[in-house]
Structure 1
Amino acid sequence: MTWLLVALGGAAGSAIGALLMRRPTGTRLLLATASVCGLMGMLSAQLVSPKVTAVLGYGVLGSATSMVAFALASPAWVGGDAPVRSTAGITKRLAVYCVVGVTFALLGYLAVRGGATLYKKLS
């Protein structure tokens, strides 16, 4: 049953990712990466049922992340020094996306955990 929920969430996440990535620009890709990773961080801090985690975490957010990674694909190589330039460009771009992803996943996690701690302290 869990695999079916992951598959349904994956189909929904692929549709969402395809809609977001219709015309991929650098800004749109960074915003999509930040929002998906932030939601993943928020979901990891919550104690929700395994069925909800299967649909949202592994299904929707997992496939939306793969759509963003697919949009990062570089154009074909042309020329003799193009592999070196492409490799350097992809490495820089991947480093930026990793930093953005980790930062927003941490911010999402801390937002939920900090809010829960503040709620417990105030009540």
Structure 2
Amino acid sequence: MTWVLVALGGAVGSTIGALLLRRPSSALLVTATAVVCGLAGMMSAQHVSSRVTAVVGYGVLGSAASMVAFALAAPMWVGGDVPVRSTVSAAKKVGMYCAVGVTFALLGYLAVRGGTTLYRKLT
């Protein structure tokens, strides 16, 4: 049953990713990466049912993250230094998106954990 829920969430996430990334720009890709990773961080800090985690955490967010990864594919160049330029370009893009992803995943996690801790201390 869990795999069916993950598949349904993946279909929803792929649809959302395809709609958002019809005309990818750098700002849109960075924003989509930040939102997906922030929500994934929030999901990891939240104790919800395994069914909700399967649909939203693994299904929707996992497939939306893969849509962002596909949009990162660099165009091919023609020339003698193609492997070097392609590798450097891909490394720069992946490094930037990884930094954004890790930062927003941490912020999402800390927002939930900090909010929960504050709520417990105040009540």
Normalising TM by the smaller chain, what interval? over 0.9
Residues 77 and 83 in structure 1, CA contact (< 8 A), matched pair in contact too: no
Do structure 1's residue 40 and structure 2's residue 40 form an aligned pair? yes
- Describe how 1:5-84 pairs up with structure 2 within 5 A: 5-84=5-84
Provide the secondary structure at the position in 2 that maps to 1:47: coil
- Unaligned runs of 5+ residues in structure 2 are none
The one-letter code matched in structure 2 to 1:75 is P
The one-letter code matched in structure 2 to 1:107 is L
Give the C-alpha shift of residue 82 in structure 1: 2.0
Q: TM-score, normalised by structure 2?
A: 0.98
- Bigger drift between 56-65 and 71-80 goes to 71-80
Residues 9 and 60 in structure 2, CA contact (< 8 A), matched pair in contact too: yes
Equivalenced residues, count: 123
Please list every run of at least 4 consecutive aligned residues from structure 1 whose deviation after the TM superposition is greater than 2 angstroms.
Answer: none
The one-letter code matched in structure 1 to 2:26 is G
The one-letter code matched in structure 2 to 1:121 is K
Give, in whole Å, the separation in 2 of the partners of 1:45 and 1:90: 31
The one-letter code matched in structure 1 to 2:87 is T
